[in-house]
Amino acid sequence: MTANNMADPRRPSKIFRYKPPNTETNPTLEDPTPDYMNLLGMVFSMCGLMLKLKWCAWIAVYCSFISFANSRSSEDTKQMMSSFMLSISAVVMSYLQNPQPMSPPW
């Protein structure tokens, strides 16, 4: 018995539960990319809607995709979906108002 105990390092009595690290005290641990991209996406989609710029709306769609790809699992999906929908609506509205194709900047 004792030999078994000595060889087996496991101690069920010494179990500690997992505590997710507190990111408030250590903000450097968090990846800010999804939050930045979310904000950027919203800004671009508002620009696209207000100023009727098609390229702004397209960039907003890309930003929301990037934000989704980098997001954490714990993050609210509602926020993701809302930024998504906003950017897609920006694209659709730009084309409804002006069906002309986008002209390249060159």
Partner 1 sequence: MRHVVFLLPALLLLLALPDTRGRYNDDFDDGEDIAEFDDNDFAEFEDVSEDPAVDVEKEPPPRAAPSSTPIEDDEDEATVENEDGQDEFEDADAQDQDMYSKYDNEEFEGYEKTNPSFKDTLIYREVPAHLQNSWESYYMEILMVTGLLAYIMNYIIGKNKNSRLAQAWFNSHRELLESNFALVGDDGTSKEATSTGKLNQENEHIYNLWCSGRVCCEGMLIQLKFLKRQDLLNVLARMMRPACDQVQVKVTLNDEDMDTFVFAVGSRKAMARLQKEMQDLCEFCGDKPKSGAKYGIPESLAILSEMGEVTDGVMDNKMVHYLTSHADKIESIHFSDQFSGPKVMQEEGQPLKLPETKKTLLFTFNVPGMGNTSPKDMDILLPLMNMVIYSIDKVKKLRLNREGKQKADRNRARVEENFLKQTHTQRQEAAQTRREEKKRAEKERIMNEEDPDRQRRLEEAAQRREQKKLEKKQMKMKQIKVKAM
Smallest distance, Å, CB 35 to partner 1?
A: 14
Determine the 3-state secondary structure of 93 from DSSP: helix
Q: 41, exposed or middle or buried, with CB in 10 Å at 0-12, 13-18, 19+?
A: buried
Based on CB atoms, which residue is closest to partner 1, 6 or 78? 6
Tokens of residue 21, six digits:
């690290």
1-40 mask for partner 1 (x: CB under 8 A)? Answer: -------xxxxxxxxxxxxx----xx-x------------
Based on CB atoms, which residue is closest to partner 1, 14 or 78? 14
Is residue 96 part of the contact set for partner 1 (CB under 8 A)? Answer: no
